[in-house]
Structure 1
Amino acid sequence: MPDALLDVANLQRSVAGHAILTGLSFQVRIGEVLFIRGASGVGKSLLLRALAYLDPIEGGVLTLEGRTPEQLGVPKWRARVTYVPQTRVLNKGTPSELYFAAQQFKAQKGRPRSDLPAIIHDLGLEPGVLNQQWSELSGGQAQRVVLALALALQPKILLLDEVTSALDHDAVLKVEKVLKACGAALIWVTHNDTQPARVGGRVLVLPLGTEMVVEQLPSSNQQPTHDIDK
């Protein structure tokens, strides 16, 4: 793939001496969507954390536009390859305060920004959520606000770990629409059986790394399943 944005070559990851990911290789282009599927325990979240360089890798090479995390600088890598977790963020203060603090990081200085209030609106939230305490937000609100903050910081790649798991059907469709239009490459772990067909793109199935292309469904057939409102 000559125009690859992210190149993953022979990635190795272990937990407590047990190999989870072995010899995994794939590439992702600018603006592409790659879904990660597989049974529980095969290393889907582990893979995302490795790609974000949040956890050490035992082998293999990661490059973003031809540069490794060490060559680019780990803080800059994480600003460009951003992990959005499934679990609720346990932050103090408000989302606005967190967003302001993130913009002060050296790796974020001078980088472009998106319109955060507009993203909040497109995700089906009221603007006031940005000034609420994190502890006051519902699970679904918190999940979308974390996603909105990540989108507003304009990474090149978003690593999405079950980011619609706490949402009802209408909210799922809003999130999918926003993500499809955001311009970032998406590497997206999902257990929602119909999500890849609604969004389109490729699917990487773990643990073997088998790839397939998904044909996108017409919008009239886009019925989300397996997501709940928490």
Structure 2
Amino acid sequence: MAPLLSVKRLSLRRDEGEGSAILHDFNLEVEEGEVVIIKGPSGCGKTTLLKCIAELSVYQSGEILLDGKRSLDYGVPKYRTLVQYVPQRPSLLPGTPAEFLDTIRRFSSRKKTQEDQKGETDPMALAEKWGIERTMWGREWATLSGGEGQRIALALAVGIGRAEVVLLDEPTSALDEESMKTVERSLLEMLPPLRTQNSNVS
């Protein structure tokens, strides 16, 4: 059986392929139910790697497979409902969280079964547990604080119930200690038993 996610010989250079290497022949396999922690010094390409896996950045060579199928064969809108990226700074996103949620739902490629509906959590209700009032969803991302934006982005990624892979870019970096513990506790309660592996980017 193919891994849930495979990254094969991914390479990316600066300056549209003419500059120094950011990623070179990077390989990764992730099984269902597995957590992978990407480690490396600041500026080594961790965020760039996540964006490539989410098909948000263009890479020069390599391929990404989800359930044994090439990412681009899914079509970008469908693939991005299955592989969701949560940025470290959601304030850079355009529009409002409510608009973003509508877009995800509109482009979702999976038909909801009764079982899907049972396993789905309303992102707004989840964010409310983390101290985010529903009125905040109508505000521009840029007007939200770092912690507010991160909590909403996390709720979108884990609550929508359709993603097979969630890519978290330092997901609690803007949260205070109390908020961080609340979010981490909720995430652990929602997720099945996990296996963990470490992967380094240098």
- Per the TM alignment, residue 134 of structure 1 is displaced from its structure 2 partner at its CA by 3.7
| Paired position in structure 2 for 1:77 | 79
| Paired position in structure 2 for 1:176 | 184
In structure 2, how many angstroms separate the alpha carbons of the residues matched to 1:100 and 1:118? 15
- Per the TM alignment, residue 182 of structure 1 is displaced from its structure 2 partner at its CA by 4.0
Check whether the contact 1:49–1:55 (CA below 8 A) recurs between aligned residues. Answer: yes
Structure 1 outlier segments of 4+, above 6 Å: none
- Per the TM alignment, residue 144 of structure 1 is displaced from its structure 2 partner at its CA by 0.7
Change (3 A) 1:81 1:138: same
In structure 2, how many angstroms separate the alpha carbons of the residues matched to 1:167 and 1:117? 18
- Per the TM alignment, residue 121 of structure 1 is displaced from its structure 2 partner at its CA by 3.0
- Per the TM alignment, residue 183 of structure 1 is displaced from its structure 2 partner at its CA by 4.0
* Structure 1 position 4 matched with structure 2 position 11: no
- DSSP 3-state at the match of 1:41: coil
Change (3 A) 1:161 1:91: closer
What TM-score, normalized by structure 2, do the two folds share?
0.81
2:156 paired residue among 119, 142, 149: 149
1:119 paired residue among 112, 115, 126: 126
CA RMSD, 1 decimal? 2.5
Counterparts of 1:46-85 in structure 2 under 5 Å? Answer: 46-85=48-87
- Per the TM alignment, residue 103 of structure 1 is displaced from its structure 2 partner at its CA by 1.7
Instruction: Please state which structure has a larger fraction of its residues in helix.
Output: 2
* Structure 1 position 22 matched with structure 2 position 27: no
Check whether the contact 1:103–1:109 (CA below 8 A) recurs between aligned residues. Answer: no
Greater CA drift, 72-81 or 160-169: 72-81
What TM-score, normalized by structure 1, do the two folds share?
0.73
Check whether the contact 1:102–1:108 (CA below 8 A) recurs between aligned residues. Answer: no
Counterparts of 1:127-166 in structure 2 under 5 Å? Answer: 127-154=134-161, 155-166=163-174
Check whether the contact 1:86–1:143 (CA below 8 A) recurs between aligned residues. Answer: yes
- Per the TM alignment, residue 132 of structure 1 is displaced from its structure 2 partner at its CA by 4.2
| Paired position in structure 2 for 1:202 | 197
Point out where structure 1 has 5 or more consecutive residues left out of the alignment.
185-198, 208-230
Number of residue pairs the alignment of both structures matches? 191
In structure 1, how many angstroms separate the alpha carbons of the residues matched to 2:197 and 2:139? 37
Q: Which amino acid aligns with 1:149?
A: L
Percent identical residues: 36
In structure 2, how many angstroms separate the alpha carbons of the residues matched to 1:202 and 1:60? 22
Change (3 A) 1:23 1:138: same
Change (3 A) 1:93 1:79: closer
